[in-house]
Amino acid sequence: MATVDFWFDYSSPYAYLGATQIEAVAARAGGDVRWRPMLLGGVFKAIGTPNVPLMLAGQAKQQHYGKDMLRWAAWWEVPFAWPTRFPMNTIKALRVTLVSPDPAKFIHRAFKAYWVEDQDLANANVLATLLSDIGQDPALVAETENPTVKERLIAETNEAVRLGVFGAPTSVVDGELFWGQDRLGFVERALQGWKPKTA
């Protein structure tokens, strides 16, 4: 069975949008999803990109991005609302993802909490509540201070950089990188064995 590695950070609106679709994309292609949390700010720092590229875009481009996100949400019929806290410190949420017994459930709940409900993913109490919401142990939040878990997130982020990931979401199928929620058609074809000629 073909696998897509879905690299993401909760801080990315496009990663949220892509996360609402990636499982269905993989299922249609007879494949599965491997969720790959990374600290996007760490990736940006490693490759020399400003920490919040969106905020450095000109006014016209920022307005376009805002409309584009709403279009994608409408296209896929998923809820979306720009949060009052942006950018968001997602380190604790990403670490919880790494220790969750069912990461997919937590990932979907955390994305919804931020990009629909405007909740603070940097708040340990919020994360504990999200875990309770999906029937997982709120005590997992304490693991965010575990040195081993901290090192694991660093290692995952370094692996993303090594692979050439430069933004979120990035889907990787058989070593081929597809950046953005708008490339999921390519991802589906790649899971079916399509090998695009890129050079």
Nearest Cα residue to 96 out of 146, 61, 56, 48: 146
The pTM assigned to this predicted structure is 0.95
- Give CA–CA dist 198/155, Å, rounded: 29
CATH number of the domain within which 150 lies: 3.40.30.10
Residue 52 is predicted with a pLDDT of 64
- Give CA–CA dist 120/170, Å, rounded: 24
Q: Which helix (H) or strand (E) holds 176?
A: strand 176-179
- Give CA–CA dist 186/116, Å, rounded: 27
Does residue 137 belong to any structural domain of this protein? yes
First CA to last CA distance, the chain: 27
pLDDT at 196 > cutoff 90: no
Percent of the chain exceeding pLDDT 70 equals: 96
Domain range for 50: 3-191
The β-bridge partners of 53 are none
* Number of domains into which the chain is organized: 1
pLDDT in tens, 99-141: 999 999 999 999 999 999 999 999 999 999 999 999 999 999 9
Does residue 199 belong to any structural domain of this protein? no
Per-residue tokens: 156: 């995952």
Residue 53 is predicted with a pLDDT of 61
